[in-house]
Amino acid sequence: MEVTRQNFKDSLTTVYSAIEEADFLAIDGEFSGISDGPNVSALTNGLDTPEERYMKLKKHSMDFLLFQFGLCTFTYDEAASEYVIKTFNFYIFPKPFNRTSPDIKFICQSSSIDFLASQGFDFNKVFRHGIPYLNQEEEVQLREQYEERRNQSNGSGTTSYISPNANKGLGGVPEEHRDYIKRVMFPKGLHVETLETDKKERYIQISKVDDEERKRRERQKQEREQGKLVVGHNMLLDVMHTIHQFYCVLVCSILTDLLLCRLLDTKLMATTQPFKELINNTSLAELQKQLKESPFKPPKVVTAGGFPSYDTAQEQLHEAGYDAYITGLCFISMANYLGTFLTPPKGHIPARSKLIEPFFNKLFLMRIIDIPYLNISGPDLQPKRDHVLYVTFPKEWKTSDLYQLFSAFGNIQVSWIDDTSAFVCLSQTDQVQIAMNTSRYAESYRIQTYAEYLQGRRHVRENQAQGSQAWGEDGWVKPHYAPVPGTAAGDYRSSSGKRSISPIQEEQAQTTPTDGWSGNTHTHTHPDQGSKKIKTDGMHTLEDGMFEVLLVTV
């Protein structure tokens, strides 16, 4: 079902009840671009921490427009043993409400636009009929402005000259009450509503909602929603855009507080055991194809009456609603596959099964060598990076210069940070001290251990925190975890394996990006000199509620 400016109001009930009845939801977004940074490698360094990656995306991806939002609701029909789906395609465009409301500027990236155009994406529908939106704060501002103007046109105010700063909130409030209002006002804690008496006299009701009350209401709502499961494929950007565009400005470790649902990323699922070994291409289209074949089973799905149905044989990839639909199918196939490990095996694994809980709130991270996901509801993985060096050098240096510098150490891997710095991964940790020693008297370049590098960053961060303006800008305000002083991180990473990931392998990491990382349980480490993948011996039994995610290094 297409939802545009024209049928938005009429569709809302349908949308609400579809969500209400659903067992889980699948979402997907189409954006006007991905990165306004100089290039993708600047955005995705293979040794980013989850926090760094998140901050980069926040900085370089949020000025694009999420202009198509796909929602597919899946409701399980026990009697028929099949899912009933309802698909919605929301076209989104920030049409200005009037001359004084926000005139949003958004960036378009030619390659993204060109790609969507080649897929037949209908830009005219977006720009002509897209649903306008405001985030919470803009909505409050607009309501206040509107009130102010109504008051003025009713003769209750005659402010003739308005400075650029005038529209800051308390416009409609009489002068003598403003101080009081300012004192009781909280950011987002003030609820303003215009009501009418029976005699049609208008009045403004301002209710102060304190922090406790607000949290209580949010908890209530959260419980009411029972953390409905929302499934996406490679969904970090989708989630960030959705919050940023429709809810509020992204802050640092935002996600935990804001989410009223549980997220599941099918790309993360497909790159984790037991799926990792069975699936060799986790792009959405390929994943869906593979999940139709043995040992997986295509799920039984019917389209709800009155909704247009998709034919998966006739692909409509990169229409957000279709992609959401396919994502949901992938989730069902993988969830049901987990059921085959139970004794006795189960054919249908519901969205609330504990079997899939290990995948909750872990969002896939592209192209990070040793950290597969950003953990929304817990501390992030902190792989040991004591074989990693941070090297700074003149901007004339090329990768070959680094290879030459470290030629004594066998295979190395270089991850460029910028023109004058890079991470260099040595194949063995005990080489680190030798490299540090030989570099002591070097003048043209400088080597730090990864731990020293982290400490340097932390120092910069703390200085920024003490300063005032720099704080909010690049945002290291609330790290997910408190790093242990003097050490790089915890001890999640087994360092017994030789590491040798060539640049080519790093490219491959685009499709199989979790090669080379290790988790915190049952870690099997395989020495590997080449760039080919090595099969793991991970045989394991799963029981409902006792599922263990096996994280295997190649």
Shortest distance (Å) from residue 396 CB to its own copies: 7
Give me the residues that bind its own copies (CB under 8 A), please: 32-33, 36, 39, 41, 65, 93-96, 103-111, 113-114, 116-118, 122-124, 126-128, 159-166, 395-401, 403, 414, 416, 418-419, 503
Q: Which is nearer to its own copies, 95 or 458 (CB)?
A: 95
CB of 111 to its own copies, least distance (A): 5
For residue 302, the one-letter residue type is V
For its own copies, which is the closer residue by CB, 165 or 294?
165
Strand partners, 392: 421, 446
Nearer to its own copies, 81 or 399 (CB): 399
Q: Which ranges of 3-72 would DSSP assign to H, the alpha helix?
A: 8-21, 40-43, 50-61
* DSSP-assigned letters across all residues of 361-413: TEEE-TT-SS--EEESSSPPP----TTEEEEE--TT--HHHHHHHTGGG-SEE
Strand-pairing partners, residue 373, are 364
Beta-sheet strand order (sheet of 388-392): 412-418, 421-426, 388-392, 446-449
Q: CA 367, 368, 370, 373: dihedral to nearest 10 degrees?
A: -100
d(Cα 502, Cα 412) in Å, to the nearest integer? Answer: 8
Nearest approach, Cβ of 67 to its own copies (angstroms)?
A: 10
> Which strand (E) or helix (H) includes residue 424?
strand 421-426
**CB closer to its own copies, 130 vs 497:** 130
In angstroms, give the least distance from the CB of 410 to its own copies. 16
Nearer to its own copies, 57 or 330 (CB): 57
Cα 104 to the chain's mean position, in Å?
Answer: 22
Q: Which two tokens stand for residue 533?
A: 């993948």
Considering beta carbons, is residue 108 or 436 the nearer one to its own copies? 108
Least distance between its own copies and beta carbon 427 (Å):
17
Q: Which is nearer to its own copies, 94 or 299 (CB)?
A: 94
Task: Single out the residue of 417, 412, 446, 414 nearest to residue 431, CA to CA.
Answer: 412
Length of the chain: 554
Least separation in angstroms between residue 110's CB and its own copies is 5
Distance CA 287, CA 279 (A): 7
Q: How far is the CB of 411 from its own copies (least distance, A)?
A: 13
Minimum distance between the CB of residue 498 and its own copies, rounded to whole angstroms?
21
Q: Which is nearer to its own copies, 104 or 248 (CB)?
A: 104
How far is Cα 82 from Cα 99, in angstroms, rounded to an integer? 50
